[in-house]
Structure 1
Amino acid sequence: MRKCCQTVVGLLCVSLLFWSLSSVQGEPEKSASTAGVKKSASLPPEIKQALSEFNSLIGGWRGVGMIKRNSRKGAWSEKAEWVWKFDPKQSGIAYEVEDGKFLKSALLSYDPEQKTYQLATILPDGTKRDYTGALQKDTLVLESQPDAEGAVYRISIRKLNEKRTLVLFEQRNQGQSFYYRLAEVGYTRAGTRLAASGSGGPECIVTGGAGTIAVSHKGKTYYVCCSGCKQAFEDDPETFIAEAKQKAEERRKQSQSR
């Protein structure tokens, strides 16, 4: 009996030892497989360049909407904010509206294959509507697909200057060849900007827009343009610092070649 018990105990010890060794050997493999899973929030250069055309929109705005231009009848006030959004599934520039009559929110993105801008919107009643379009001089013109009744909607976003932007809403019914005005929102920038992009002031290290928010990494100060860029930088500062250095080097070479 004693010999039998010793045999059983011995087998148990060997099994426990084998299990322990297997666990220890398997741990590095698990760590190696999970290393580097986190992906940078940085956008492909072509997409970032296309969306950077709208860096001047980043920030908060106060808007006055009018059904008929220069008429207070049916007019309303709203607030809006444009913020860069970095997400593996949905990246672009988010457009959030408070007290809006025609929009609740939207996401502006760019399709590099089709060379078109996309605007995915949510209306005040929760309905979703997608637009596609292009930049025409200083105005981004986007059209929807026909709805169930054949109506097509158009949004035109026009930058007047650093402090003024107009957003025009239009509709074209089935069988019509022209658009008629639904409303227009005139936006005035809320607050001030440190600098306009390219003016010599601080630049956003993530998008190249006007730097308005200070961030730091390893004791050095950088600037970003919005909360979305701040989050992206804090998630992966090394990538954006490297991209900024590369961009600065390209600028230096271009200036020397002139």
Structure 2
Amino acid sequence: MFIHLITRRNTSVGVVGLLTLCTTWMAFSADAEPKSPPKAALIEALRDFNGVIGSWRGIGQVKRGSTQGAWQEKADLIWELKPKSTGIRFNVDEGKEWKTAILTYDEAGKQFTLTANLPDDTTRKYQGKFEDKRLVLEGADDKKDVHRLTLTMLNENRMLVLFERRPEQQSFFTRVGEVAYQRQGTKIAAVGGGGPICVVTGGAGTIAVMHKGKTYYVCCTGCRDAFNDDPEGILASYEKKKAESK
């Protein structure tokens, strides 16, 4: 009987030890798994917005052509390439209509989604389509008023963002404000104009990065971070896409 109890105890200890070993191995394996590259489909869906990446200075007007209530703001647009968040990040300084936002693409709904953090620290979700160089998005607030945001890409160095609102009982939108953005600094070459290409998104390469003694280019700090996290995966994806385009 005594020997039998010892045997059972040793067996239990062995099972616990084996489970502990398996759990430790699984945790180590999870940590050791290679990082997933940014979602290529989402990057491709947002490719038309490569031209807006960079730093901008904006002049906001409540009424076009009037200085009454006008303001100035700055905006930095970068790629955000995280496992659970792939899109274009807007960081706005001194903005009256928004503070930050991220533009993504809903693959299931086949539409763009912009989630904005507003000056009062609430969030608003807009959804819509991109047509004829205009991104038109709509979203409702707690009062069921519909807000419309229209981003118009005039060229590589200029864009407009129009904010409008339609109360629940109203059939038309009224203007809330508009920001005219001008790219800061000197002009850059248009995408595809013969300059360096971002190996992450295919946009205009403006930042040099190194890997194994070779120089590559990315378009923003978000792409730089993604490249540094997984240079082999990024370059493999880039070379594959380049080969497919030939």
TM-score normalised per structure 2:
0.87
Runs of 4+ in 1 over 4 A off after TM superposition: 26-32
Helix, strand or coil for the counterpart of 1:53?
Answer: helix
Cα distance, 1:137–1:230 mapped onto 2, change above 3 Å: same
Q: Which runs of 5+ in 2 are unaligned?
A: 1-9
User: What is the rounded CA distance, in whole Å, between the counterparts of 1:29 and 1:129 in structure 2?
Assistant: 43
- Number of aligned residues: 230
How far residue 192 of structure 1 moved from its aligned partner, in angstroms, is 3.1
Helix, strand or coil for the counterpart of 2:82?
Answer: coil
User: What is the rounded CA distance, in whole Å, between the counterparts of 1:250 and 1:170 in structure 2?
Assistant: 42
How far residue 60 of structure 1 moved from its aligned partner, in angstroms, is 0.2
Alignment partner of 1:185 is 2:176:
no
Deviations 1:83-130 (A, max 9, x none): 100112222110010000001000000011110100000101101111
User: What is the rounded CA distance, in whole Å, between the counterparts of 2:164 and 2:31 in structure 1?
Assistant: 50
* Correspondent of 2:89 among 87, 94, 107: 94
Structure whose residues are more often strand by fraction: 2
* Correspondent of 2:112 among 113, 117, 132: 117
Asked whether the 8 Å contact 2:42–2:86 carries over to 1, the reply is no
- Which has the larger Rg? 1
Deviations 1:165-186 (A, max 9, x none): 0000000011211111110000
After TM superposition, the structure 1 = structure 2 runs for residues 92-241 of structure 1, keeping only pairs within 5 Å, are: 92-145=87-140, 147-192=141-186, 194-241=188-235
Identity of aligned residues (%): 48
Asked whether the 8 Å contact 1:193–1:210 carries over to 2, the reply is no
Deviations 1:161-206 (A, max 9, x none): 1110000000001121111111000000012354321111101000
User: What is the rounded CA distance, in whole Å, between the counterparts of 1:224 and 1:50 in structure 2?
Assistant: 18
Matched to 2:72, the amino acid is: S
Asked whether the 8 Å contact 1:194–1:202 carries over to 2, the reply is no
Matched to 1:222, the amino acid is: Y
How far residue 40 of structure 1 moved from its aligned partner, in angstroms, is 2.3
Q: Which runs of 5+ in 1 are unaligned?
A: 1-14, 253-258
Alignment partner of 1:78 is 2:73:
yes
Asked whether the 8 Å contact 1:215–1:222 carries over to 2, the reply is yes
* Correspondent of 2:236 among 219, 242, 254: 242
Helix, strand or coil for the counterpart of 2:135?
Answer: strand
- Range moving further from structure 2, 124-133 or 32-41: 32-41
Matched to 1:119, the amino acid is: L
Matched to 2:35, the amino acid is: K
How far residue 57 of structure 1 moved from its aligned partner, in angstroms, is 0.5
